[in-house]
Amino acid sequence: GYNISIINGPTKYVQNFINHTWMERYHTNISENGLTLLWSTIVSIFTLGGLIGVSIGGTLSVRLGRKGTLLTNNIFSLTAALLMGLSSTAGSFELLIIGRLLCIALCVQPLYLGEIAPTALRGATGMGTSVFITGGILTGQVMGLKEVLGKEEYWPILLSTTFIPAVLQLIILPWFPESPRYLLIDKGDDEGCKKALRQLHGLSECDAALEDIKKERNNLVGFHARKPWELFSDGSVRWQLLTIVLLNMAQQLNGINAIYFYADYVFRQSGIPSERIPYATVGTGACECITALTCGLLIECLGRKVLITGGYILMSVCCILFTLTLTFQDVSPIFPYLSMACVFAFILSFGLGPGGVTNILTAELFTQTARPAAFMISGSINWLSFFFIGLIFPFIVLGFQQYCFLVFLMVCSLVAIYIFFVVPETKNKTFVEIQKDFQSFNKRKSRGSDGEHSHCESKHFKKGK
């Protein structure tokens, strides 16, 4: 989250640095298109790094363990911070591009949290990913204010502050145990698993947690970690796979990026001075962070299905209202303020469910041997969708203008319907119980398909007769 937002504050200063560096090298000003291309590369290369990261992160999580992969990732994070911090001194904007490229572990962190949490707290623990991503976005927005590190001379320091989370993790994470499920199922380390469970759950809950892991192991066909392509050919996980693909696509294509794009325009129309808009933007970050915290408190009470379905339904309503308020923006002075209310309502709805529950469901819908591959697939889909929406979104806005939110309305509505009819509630269920729910769903679908096929054959037979 911090890496996503930290680049927005010093936009103008980094562009000045690129222009100055180009002038020193080639004794001419860079063209406007060239500057736009370099800046877009610096911003969007992060998505390519994320895609590469999830492609190898799942494999590393099996070889090095969940904890080992997270610790190893800090080498890349520290290297990236060093390169970006030295880019101005070295007179090299290429160092910014390389620094933004380096990342691995976003797919491993929710995997680790999902496996170490007790069943009753798995949702709340999994929401930690969303809480800290939104917290990172908010922190990056605050650090980019001119009162902190938002002045021109400070931008290299601002970009190099990405080393802080890496250092904190290197200090704190070694005190935490490896995933007990990984130790028992993947490595066959019974004693290591028991030790980790005692540290995580205490003596009183240790035996019950161990029994749950053993049940999952006994239900597995083979103990080797599966590859992503093996999941695509396995009919028993067809609906789970379709679910995480749709949810991860929808997480990027639901309009949240469009809302942030329109936020500046809406704030200006509402009469907020240009120099105050960064503070209003911090307000949107705070709004999303608070909602993620609220979702973490509610998820074990209301369940995953209610929150994510409700979130998409509310986002659908916001899309309709926002389209109307933008259309009638000049009709009455009240409409800009209604548009601003829609911005915050949409962000609240996103944070309430889709923003955080998606990663939790990815962890819960698969067994131990399939989970790393599932995170590789979901992470790849998420980053590709992020890149895709960044690529086509300007053209969507250009072509549809404020009516672009009707496209996002369709996405949100269809996903809400799919979740309501297909995805089971996973609250307070073990991984084995969740798999049984999907097996029952698969059997119902198979019986329905067989019944329809038999009916067609019967009609054909009668006609022939």
pLDDT at residue 199, rounded to an integer: 92
Closest CA to 277 of 296, 263, 289: 263
- The answer to whether position 19 is within a domain reads yes
Average pLDDT over residues 244-248: 95
Q: Are 105 and 70 contacting, i.e. CB atoms less than 8 angstroms apart?
A: yes
We report the CATH number of the domain holding residue 231 as: 1.20.1250.20
Boundary residue ending a domain (222, 247, 280) = 222
Q: How far is CA 373 from CA 286, 329, 368, in A?
A: 33, 47, 10
Question: Where does 173-275 show beta strands of DSSP type E?
Answer: none
pLDDT over 90 at 275, yes or no: no
CB-hemisphere CA count at 13 Å for 81?
18
H or E stretch including 314?
helix 304-327
Q: What's the chain's average pLDDT? A: 86
pTM (whole model) above 0.85: no
Q: How far apart are CA 370 and CA 187, in angstroms?
A: 15
pLDDT digits 0-9 by tens, 400-430: 887 888 989 999 999 999 999 999 999 989 8
173/270 same-domain check:
no
Are 181 and 115 within 8 A, CB to CB? yes
Contact status, residue 262 vs residue 393, Cβ threshold 8 Å: no
Residue 304 pLDDT level (bands cut at 50, 70, 90): very high
Asked if the structure places residue 459 within a domain, the reply is no
User: What distance in Å separates the CA atoms of residue 425 and residue 427, rounded to the nearest whole number?
Assistant: 6
Q: Which residues form the domain of 68?
A: 1-222
Which tokens in the block code for residue 18? Answer: 């690129």
pLDDT of residue 9: 81
Structural domain ending residue among the three candidates 185, 201, 222: 222
Q: Is residue 461 part of a domain?
A: no
Q: How many helices (H) and strands (E) does the chain have?
A: 21, 0
Instruction: Give domain status of residue 456, yes or no.
Output: no
Does residue 216 share a domain with residue 151? yes
The number of CA neighbours under 13 Å toward the Cβ of 169 is: 20
Q: Is 218 helix (H, G, I), strand (E, B) or coil?
A: helix
Helix (H) or strand (E) holding 372: helix 371-400
What pLDDT sits at residue 13?
92
In this prediction, residue 449 carries a pLDDT of: 53
218 found inside a domain: yes
Residue 167 covered by a domain: yes
Answer yes or no: do 240 and 350 share one domain. yes
Looking at 52-61, 71-80, 308-317, which range is the least confident one? 52-61
Evaluate the CA torsion angle 132, 137, 143, 147 in order and state its sign. negative
Query: What gap in Å lies between CA 302 and CA 465, rounded to an integer?
Result: 56
DSSP string covering 134-159:
HHHHHHHHHHTSTTTT-SGGGHHHHH
Report DSSP state, residue 105. G
Dump pLDDT digits (tens) for 1-15.
Answer: 788 788 878 888 999
pLDDT score recorded for residue 222: 60
**Residue 443, domain member (yes or no):** no
Q: Tell which of 194, 222, 250 closes a domain.
A: 222
Helix (H) or strand (E) holding 456: helix 431-464
Return the pLDDT at 75.
Answer: 92
Domain count for the chain: 2
Beta-carbon contacts of residue 421 (< 8 Å; ≥ 6 apart): none
What pLDDT shows up at residue 409? Answer: 94
Residue 240 lies in a domain: yes
**Do residue 217 and residue 298 come from a single domain?**
no
Same domain? For 193 and 315 the reply is: no
Q: Count of residues for the chain?
A: 465
**For residue 463, what pLDDT band results from cuts at 50, 70 and 90?**
very low
Residue type, 131: V
Both 73 and 150 in one domain: the answer is: yes
* 305 within 8 A of 423, measured Cβ to Cβ: yes
* Interatomic CA distance for residues 258 and 252, integer angstroms: 10
- Binned at pLDDT 50, 70 and 90, residue 450 comes out as low
Phi first, then psi, for residue 298 (nearest 5°) are -95, -20
pLDDT of residue 418: 96
Q: Are 232 and 212 found together in one domain?
A: no
Q: Are residues 122 and 245 in the same domain?
A: no
Pair (168, 65) in one structural domain: yes
pLDDT digits (tens, 9 = 90+) for 204-221: 888 888 998 998 888 776
**Same-domain pairing of 185 and 53:** yes
pLDDT of residue 345: 93
CA distance 146 to 152: 9
Q: Are residues 201 and 233 in the same domain?
A: no
Residues 379/57, Cβ–Cβ less than 8 Å? yes
39 Cβ contact partners less than 8 Å away, ≥ 6 residues apart: 11, 14, 15, 18
Together in a domain, 189 and 241: no
